[in-house]
Amino acid sequence: MTNPPNRLSMLTDIHKQITDWGAWVLKSRPFALHQSGLDLKSFGIAVILAGLTYLLMNLWLTRSVDATYRYAKATPITSISSTEQRAVKLVKLIGGDPRFEGEAFLKESLKTLPADATWRDVILGTIAGVQNSIPDGFTKKLDEHMTGQRTGLPFLYLGIKPISGSMIVEEFRMISPTWTSKNALFEGDGAQIKASDIDVLLAKLIDRVSEENRPQIRALMRISGWVQWLTVLLMWFILVLVSKRYWLFECPDHSAMSDTETPRRQAYGTFEFLIGLLPSLGFVGTVLGMGDALLTADGLFSSADKTQAISVITKHLGFAFDTTLIGLITAMICGAAVLALRTWESNELRSRG
């Protein structure tokens, strides 16, 4: 009868397999450029790791954006049982025209909202109250805008646009010719209200709702853009090179590395140069973002939609400062990794004599 395999032996075999795989991934022959391990294999691994990083971060942040928009409760409105008071509360909350507090269409749309209604339901209910129904395409267009109008690869969003209620309302007009006519009049407490006033009310309501998920969209914008992508890629490239040097130093076949001072100085000189590129990339993004913001600010006073113009400017400024932030954070991470490796390697060389 054969004895069951020894557990320690199994663990040893697994460890050997992992070691062999790691040696194949991290080891390069000959050990390239200044003992720092620069080669295409390392770059390929860094590209994969950077892609996975962006995939996970974007999936998490986009789910957060979508969930906040779709499930943010309109409790300031739905907690009020009186229909008249709901309308009054909503108009005051969004800073709308007080004449709307007595409008029948607004009271009816708010009356049908359940206690667990979301802000999204409030917008769609208001549209349905004005139009007697929600025109085709309105819901899709609203959802696209309120979640950042994301464009790009599935995990690398390069186009995230700021939200503007007036811009969305204008697109509603383009989608549906049956949208309220500019000449239409509504009766409310003896005051005549034009349909254009309803546009303003709806735009303010959308702007109020966008405040719920603006922080999440801001977080998504923080990691989006080609400069941020290059910075994260460079960070992973440096970390892969650090891992390779550590792995090779631990390998039994230590002949792949030189213990002399000159190659070591060259290797860490390369590391320091690459780490210096991280904040440099961040500052490049800052200059680009500031330049775009200044160009956009040129048309601020001539823009009919001041809110939209300011949103575009702040988006460019956000890109500018976010690239610097990511560059500095990644530089700190890589700097700490290289310092730890250098300290450990020096101690190892001293102990080996």
pLDDT tens, position by position, 106-118:
888 888 889 899 9
Residues 6+ apart with CB under 8 A from 66: 147
The answer to whether residue 260 is domain-embedded is yes
Q: Which amino acid is at 323?
A: T
120 with 56, same domain: the answer is: no
The answer to whether residue 240 is domain-embedded is yes
The H or E element that residue 193 is part of is strand 191-194
Predicted structure pTM score: 0.73
The answer to whether residue 1 is domain-embedded is no
Contact call for residues 180 and 142 (beta carbons, < 8 A): no
The answer to whether residue 330 is domain-embedded is yes
pLDDT band at 187 (very low <50, low <70, confident <90, very high): low
111 with 199, same domain: the answer is: yes
**What are residue 121's phi and psi, to 5 degrees?**
-65, -35
Q: Which two tokens stand for residue 51?
A: 């892609």
pLDDT of residue 135: 83
115 with 31, same domain: the answer is: no
Residues 6+ apart with CB under 8 A from 263: 34, 35, 257
pLDDT of residue 5: 53
168 with 245, same domain: the answer is: no
pLDDT of residue 182: 44
Tokens 């295409």 belong to residue: 40
The domain boundary, picked from 212, 238, 259, lies at 212
**What mean pLDDT do residues 130-135 have?**
81
The answer to whether residue 12 is domain-embedded is yes
178 with 289, same domain: the answer is: no
In this predicted structure, the answer to whether residue 282 has a pLDDT above a threshold of 70 is: yes
26 with 86, same domain: the answer is: no
Long-range contacts of 38-44 (CB under 8 A, 24+ apart): 38/241, 38/270, 42/237, 42/240, 42/241, 42/244, 43/237
pLDDT of residue 322: 87
125 with 201, same domain: the answer is: yes
More confident residue, 86 or 133: 86
The domain boundary, picked from 212, 237, 259, lies at 212
pLDDT digits (tens, 9 = 90+) for 258-269: 555 666 777 788
The answer to whether residue 33 is domain-embedded is yes
* Residues facing 118 on adjacent strands: 73
Total domains, the chain:
2
The domain boundary, picked from 164, 191, 212, lies at 212
**What mean pLDDT do residues 210-236 have?**
87
| Cα distances (angstroms) measured from residue 269 to each of 15, 219, 233, 336, 338 | 33, 35, 20, 15, 11
pLDDT of residue 34: 47
pLDDT of residue 38: 74
201 with 312, same domain: the answer is: no
The answer to whether residue 18 is domain-embedded is yes
pLDDT digits (tens, 9 = 90+) for 285-344: 888 888 877 777 766 666 665 666 677 777 778 888 888 999 999 999 999 999 998 898
122 with 82, same domain: the answer is: yes
91 with 198, same domain: the answer is: yes
In this predicted structure, the answer to whether residue 22 has a pLDDT above a threshold of 70 is: no
197 with 252, same domain: the answer is: no
97 with 144, same domain: the answer is: yes
The answer to whether residue 2 is domain-embedded is no
What's the domain range around 128?
Answer: 72-212
